[in-house]
Amino acid sequence: MPNFDINLIKRENLRRIMDERGLTPTTLANLIGVKQPHISASLSGDRNIGNITIKKICDALHIDKSEFFVTSPREIKKPIAPPPSWEIKELYARLRKDIDAANAEAKETRAEVAREKHAMWAVINQQRTELENVRQVLRKVAQTGDLKDLKKISGSGK
């Protein structure tokens, strides 16, 4: 008669199931309504994985109870069902959060561009005004021939 530890088999299969679905002990605990130390103790062997826990996991992940008693890779059944709704909701929440963050960053970037554009136009308008003042002085000098007005643009005033 072969010598095997059923609790070791259940632990190894629980690890495999969690790895296949990318679950952490905390995520699995929240999913099945137990505390995280319950799952951690089950994984470490400090606590046996009972039938109630197995049923909760199977119901939450839409898997067959036999998944906990697989003893060879050939026995592993690949899931044919779509991912559970909690995985879809979690993925949607993460994507929504990323999209919201990207939108907020884009909004701030647009605001920064608008501020820079406003500042640039203020400088351009100031330079236009100064250029127009220089043109007026040059026209006056051209009309009168009096160079004293040129001193106004050069800033010497003497």
Pull the structure tokens for residue 155: 């800033």
The 10s digit of each residue's pLDDT in 14-57 is 999 999 899 999 999 999 999 999 999 999 999 999 999 999 99
Same domain, 100 and 53: no
Claim to verify: residue 54 and residue 106 sit in the same structural domain: no
**Residue 53: exposed, middle, or buried by beta-carbon count in 10 A (0-12, 13-18, 19+)?**
buried
Q: Which amino acid is at 101?
A: A
Residue 47 and residue 72 in one domain: yes
Domain that holds residue 118: 92-154
CATH of the domain at 50: 1.10.260.40
Would residue 101 count as lying in a domain? yes
What would the pLDDT profile of 88-123 be if each residue is shown by its tens digit? 888 889 999 999 999 999 999 999 999 999 999 999
**Number of domains forming the structure of the chain:** 2
